[in-house]
Structure 1
């Protein structure tokens, strides 16, 4: 049975992205009009990009667009194809450059277009707009097979975990790589190898194995077995997907960024797989330490609330004062670009520099982090790590970080943005799981928030950037 992700999209034309490992996605959508689907290489809006608009123009027609530019590649009349009162099922496929969409239960697409210059699709995004909100049910974890062949099938990963189910007699092989191919560095996990007698973790396809454990009978040719693989700052963990018990674990002293996974079966085994990207379940996920909404917090005693005035502001929250006088400027950038002179605020657990960045999200201007290899900036908000393809980077600014805690903001703290309520946000950073990560300090909450591992995490002890 497929894994279902329930998604709600607002009337704001902002895509929510999810990884895909096959050439299609199936979904149900309940909306009055304008169900938009994006197909991209990365988890953000960036060229090259396909867009399929279903029920656009007041639920009268559907189109396929490339790179967010007109004219449309194809346009057809589809009156009343969507319905605000019931779910309608659709599929979108991409194969050999042919992009097509059809209705659930129908093999013939109602719209298609052949791209003469196709590109690999790794992510799908969904959104609604033009007066419409939407409720989606997106299917994930479609079953596929691997032959008795030492050749990996690759797909993208969006976070530090992968949930999978395998049905086969033995030799369930999974690799984690920085590219969609067998390249070094890479991790390999062999479950039920050596005639279903033991399992190992291997690094860069070299022996001796980093971890070897006896696992007699771990695989079954007649039953799907579930596993959860997690990697964070070099710690690679393999868990039983049902009990959560750790089967194997290894710490890599020189971790690398994992962007893809591969699966295969061999040595006399054929395998059936279900790969789940959405991580809707899994064993013992790390709970976010940040609130789902700022209303869960009340201001500390003696701290003025919104509209009560901010020190030096002259009454009321002042918004974000221009950064001038040699204190640094904010420069627009996109897609992982790092402008010359960018302020280094920390270091990722892989050793890559983290730059001080900020981006707009949900009516706020939020300080966060930029790690160039990820191709985007991240800002913490609403308990989540929010990826932003368009952002600003601090150039030539201060580099004086002062330790503090709670709501104790030192004099001269560098203003980096403002909340959706108009409260000033400062630039802070914390050490977490081998990284030094920049984020936002919200004085009324008494913590520094960072984006990490897909979540917004709050820390009462932190450093703040002072001009």
Structure 2
């Protein structure tokens, strides 16, 4: 709350207790909220990179280059965070490099400097004559797929969005005088389900926007200058105010279905099953939707870490029809395939049916399981769900693999223990 040790406060201990475990603590009191074993996570002989994120009461920490946190906790009574502090003790001294918001320079050289991102936004300030270049990538390297935003290019006359370093540019707009070598100019980049928006950091006005038809998980950003320009930068890796995040393109419908009574860890306030939607019976039907739309009677299969309901959905990908999850506020459904999470602005939502889930494991598909799609090889795919990182997330069950796959944090994750949806 302030630039001193005062309650309320969160503490994230990384490599404590002789470099054996990590914890999250609230208000300097025990018991710790979360404790996990992390042997050898720190090294006295080299720098180790980490990120800490706070969003909607969820505090989490992860390793640089990894989008999945290794520790996370959801505070039922969150508070606004205005300051960050660091310290060492108990026999340890440390050397720190705090990148978030630190000022640094880029030379007149078309070579990106990379850093990690953990949310779908990047706030930056740039001071230079022209050619402010930002890239968004799935790795800390200049590789495809990648998105590039060039602000104040072509001698400070126009700005563009480029995909995979290829022309023609996806968006081109005139921006004469956008940059100034004598003062910092602030911008905000936001990306959700392939939709990239570039906003003015002072007014929040959208300067450019483009939707990637084949979105990819973004884990890193890069910045550079060139073509006769040097630049000074201030980078904030996480959204902290200013322009508002992109709103959902359609309001979510009222939740009609949810976890059946007795489901362990069911979330408070969730409605009970009340029957099929009007005109819908049996195992339910699939309804075509786009851009975050939720049809009346959509089946709620779980909830996101933030508490937002996740609807049972499916989408086409690489010749397969794959069950996954609809996150209405992101404007798309997500499906797991090939080790990655894939956002789909066009999808189908399950409406009606019993919304009855039973626990199972491995390749044990109970009789009456509801088929939700098929793999590219024609194998039936069923609808499953698992608890992970504070969420109840729906995904696909592939019997030949013996797991339920979910999409989470940009990745495809497999779980041998899961629940399966019944007809």
Query: By percentage of residues, which structure has more strand?
Result: 1
Normalised to the residue count of structure 2, the TM-score between the two structures is 0.49
Normalised to the residue count of structure 1, the TM-score between the two structures is 0.45
